[in-house]
Amino acid sequence: MDVLGTMQDEDLVLRLRALNEDHARAYESGRDTYPWEVEIAYVRREQQIRRIRRDNHAEITRLAEIEFRRLEESLPVADIEQNNAPFVYAATGGRPPRWSNN
């Protein structure tokens, strides 16, 4: 299982910060920095994947809300003054509603 994929966003930020600091120290000491660069690339890629997913989710949600509003606007206006007792009676199969005292 991918460890980075299970980490919280905040933990990824902390890990990237620590890796960058370690990379800088390794660079200053003349050591090979390739292992840190690979890990930094993995963390950045995970952050990029999450950002893309969040953006896609936000767009899908926005489009669904637009479609829902369009559908709601196409429905007839409700007549809330109308007595809906016959509809309730029919919907309950001819039995009085459960909340009724009858």
pLDDT, tens only, 44-57: 999 999 999 999 99
Using alpha carbons, list the distances in angstroms from residue 4 to 11, 21, 33, 35, 102: 9, 19, 20, 16, 61
User: What is the rounded distance in angstroms from the CA atom of residue 5 to the CA atom of residue 44?
Assistant: 12
- Average pLDDT of the chain to the nearest whole number: 88
pLDDT of residue 65: 96
Q: How confident is the model at residue 99 (pLDDT cuts 50, 70, 90)?
A: low
Evaluate if residue 77 carries a pLDDT over 70. yes
Residues 6+ away with beta carbon under 8 Å from 31: none
Evaluate if residue 1 carries a pLDDT over 60. no
Whether the CB-CB separation of 88 and 97 falls below 8 Å is answered with yes
Whether the CB-CB separation of 36 and 19 falls below 8 Å is answered with yes
Q: Which residue has the tokens 């299982």?
A: 1
